[in-house]
Amino acid sequence: MPTPIATELIAAIATPAGRGGIGIVRVSGRDLSRVVEGIVGRALTPRVATSADFAGVHGEILDQGLALYFPAPASYTGETVLELHCHGGPAVLAQVLRRCLDLGARLAEPGEFTKRAFLNGKIDLAQAEGVADLIDAATATAARAAARSLTGAFSAEVRALVDGLTELRMYTEASLDFPDEDIEFMHATDAGGKLARLRERLDSIAARSHQGRLLRDGLDVVLIGQPNVGKSSLMNQLAGEDVAIVTPHAGTTRDAIRSSVEIRGIPLHVIDTAGLRESVDPVERIGIERTWATIARADLALIVTDARAPEHNADAAIVARLPSALRRIVVRNKIDLAGIEPARSESGVADEVWLSAKTGAGIELLRDAMLGAAGAHEDMEGTFLARERHLAAMREAALHLEAAARHLEASPPPLELFAEELRSAQQALSAITGEFSADDLLGVIFGRFCIGK
């Protein structure tokens, strides 16, 4: 469980770098009386914005602003917190921060305010990560999903699972105390039914969390194909602007061109690449090599072909070189020249979309196919902005529950092994909220925060 950390004072500028109307310097620690007296010069009423002159070391006025005082434990960090709302010039904020440091505070590390909130029991680890995700959210849908994590909705779902496992473990441990009646006892308590319902609930949360990972990280989409099949035109259509040069000459694109787009709340990082062909041009060959390197890192490939020659041997050669695990959509472009209507066909191997990157006909079909290939649902509003470590913890818990189910089906069931699998699943899930967290993990998580948060 989180425990309070050192009582030393920390201070930092809590607003972004640059000029603005308002900037905030935040201080946190056990006793801020020296800082308050040194800067404001008088006692502050808790949780009331107080107009004040902020004084320097010789009594000179550094700035005029508002001071907010939050006594422990009713503060963000759980410690006493002082916020000094200054004018947002970098020089002004630097002077006020320096005064705080002169009065005994030290410069806060990245994420240290939120880390103290976690260690002082104000928020759990999933909520702390929600803070950073809300700041970094690239779309409105992602911001709403991060807010659900921040307010504890994701943690509540995880804790409900942990509580269910605790109850099942209680029944199991009780039956171990009465070895002559263990089978009857487990049957009477419907252990199998309880386990099945817990597994279903875990699967549901994991699916919603996977959607949230898409919202958080987005999808790397690479456009590949022969030269002059319309990859750059398609890139421009998806981006909604001319980000790639389009000419009738093959080999125009020599290096990867990136653009981030949003499709129904999902951020996609689209990469236009050099056309894939044999070339003696040394510059074009470097571009082709970089294309294959980009393909190796991609989540989804759009294989662009000419609708007038959809079964070209060169296209088959490109497909044959793709990583087997890479999801793909075949785009039959230039239907305006082929006299074909927009269409989409779905198969187990790869979707096909017939469109015109020049006119935009069929682009919506492609957007639908891209979301489908990403595993995104139509409604993303119930998702949690999960991280990879959350998904890994749920996968680990699912494996333990699967093993527990196999033990329960044995005759007679080895209840000691069953109980151990339940314990391991519970521990994996508890790591999401931070009940079981190594110090090095905390360092990685909070080290990615901005200073002042």
pLDDT in tens, 357-370: 889 899 999 888 88
Do residues 366 and 295 share a domain?
A: yes
Do residues 322 and 278 share a domain?
A: yes
Query: Does residue 382 sit within a domain?
Result: no
Do residues 290 and 270 share a domain?
A: yes
68, 90, 122 - which closes a domain: 122
Do residues 406 and 419 share a domain?
A: yes
Do residues 345 and 423 share a domain?
A: no
Identify the domain containing residue 355 by its residue range. Answer: 218-374
What is the per-residue pLDDT across 319-346, written as a single tens digit (0 to 9) for each? 777 777 778 888 899 999 988 999 998 7
Do residues 117 and 37 share a domain?
A: yes
Query: Does residue 24 sit within a domain?
Result: yes
Do residues 21 and 85 share a domain?
A: yes
Do residues 344 and 399 share a domain?
A: no
68, 98, 122 - which closes a domain: 122
Do residues 247 and 264 share a domain?
A: yes
Do residues 427 and 296 share a domain?
A: no
What CATH number is attached to the domain comprising 110?
3.30.1360.120
Query: Does residue 379 sit within a domain?
Result: no
Query: Does residue 380 sit within a domain?
Result: no
What pTM, to 2 d.p., does this model score? 0.70
Q: What string of pLDDT tens digits covers the 453 residues of the chain?
A: 454 455 689 999 999 888 889 999 999 999 999 999 999 999 999 999 999 999 999 999 999 999 999 999 999 999 999 999 999 899 999 999 999 999 999 999 988 999 999 999 899 888 888 888 888 777 777 788 788 888 888 899 999 999 999 888 887 777 766 655 555 555 656 788 889 999 999 998 888 887 777 777 778 888 887 777 888 888 888 877 655 444 444 444 444 567 777 777 777 888 776 555 455 455 556 666 666 667 777 788 888 888 887 666 656 777 777 777 778 888 899 999 988 999 998 766 678 899 998 898 999 998 888 887 766 655 566 677 778 888 999 999 999 999 999 988 887 778 889 889 999 999 999 988 887 655 655 666 677 677 776
What is the per-residue pLDDT across 229-286, written as a single tens digit (0 to 9) for each? 888 888 888 877 655 444 444 444 444 567 777 777 777 888 776 555 455 455 556 6
Query: Does residue 169 sit within a domain?
Result: yes
SS (H, E, C) the chain: CCCCCCCCCEEEECCCCCCEEEEEEEEEECCCHHHHHHHCCCCCCCCCCEEEEEECCCCCEEEEEEEEEECCCCCCCCCEEEEEEEEECHHHHHHHHHHHHHCCCEECCCCHHHHHHHHCCCCCHHHHHHHHHHHHCCCHHHHHHHHHHHCCHHHHHHHHHHHHHHHHHHHHHHHHCCHHHHHHHHHHCCHHHHHHHHHHHHHHHHHHHHHHHHHHHCEEEEEEECCCCCHHHHHHHHHCCCCCCCCCCCCCCCCCEEEEEEECCEEEEEEECCCCCCCCCHHHHHHHHHHHHHHHHCCEEEEEEECCCCCCHHHHHHHHHCCCCCEEEEEEECHHHHCCCCEEECCCCCEEEECCCCCCCCHHHHHHHHHHHHCCCCCCCCCCCCCHHHHHHHHHHHHHHHHHHHHHHCCCCCHHHHHHHHHHHHHHHHHHHCCCCCHHHHHHHHHCCCCCC
Query: Does residue 439 sit within a domain?
Result: no
Query: Does residue 128 sit within a domain?
Result: no
Domain count, the chain: 3
What CATH number is attached to the domain comprising 236?
3.40.50.300
